[in-house]
Amino acid sequence: MSTKLIAYQIQVQGHITILLSELFAPLSVSNESTGVALLQGELRDQSELLALLLKLHSLNFTLLSVRRTPIAPSNCHS
């Protein structure tokens, strides 16, 4: 049985340090010059997304946006 991954982009207020970014694997983290951090990557399901959002909340990051994004065809799992 294969799991279909869902791609997300999550924006939070503030920057995420390299050390903290390890907590959000497998998502990539980039800090923008505007003071916003962008987390991008693929998650298995809504429960994995919720766990990630709870982790951000527990670290006092302000959530700005959550978006589902298309997965590149080469990354699709059927």
Query: Tens of pLDDT along 16-68?
Result: 999 999 999 999 999 999 999 999 999 999 999 999 999 999 999 999 999 99
Note whether 32 and 38 are within 8 A (CB): yes
Q: What is the CATH number of the domain that holds 10?
A: 3.30.70
pLDDT tier for residue 77 given thresholds of 50, 70 and 90: low
Q: Is residue 1 a part of any domain in this protein?
A: no
| pLDDT at residue number 36 | 98
Q: Supply the pTM of this predicted model.
A: 0.84
Note whether 2 and 10 are within 8 A (CB): no
Q: Is residue 61 a part of any domain in this protein?
A: yes
Helix (H) or strand (E) holding 40: strand 36-43
Q: Is residue 56 a part of any domain in this protein?
A: yes
Which domain range does residue 10 map to?
A: 6-75
Secondary-structure breakdown of the chain: helix, strand, coil percentages, each rounded to the nearest 5: 30, 35, 35
Structurally, the chain folds into a number of domains equal to: 1
- Omega before 70 within 30 of 0, i.e. cis: no
Q: Is residue 32 a part of any domain in this protein?
A: yes
pLDDT tier for residue 73 given thresholds of 50, 70 and 90: low
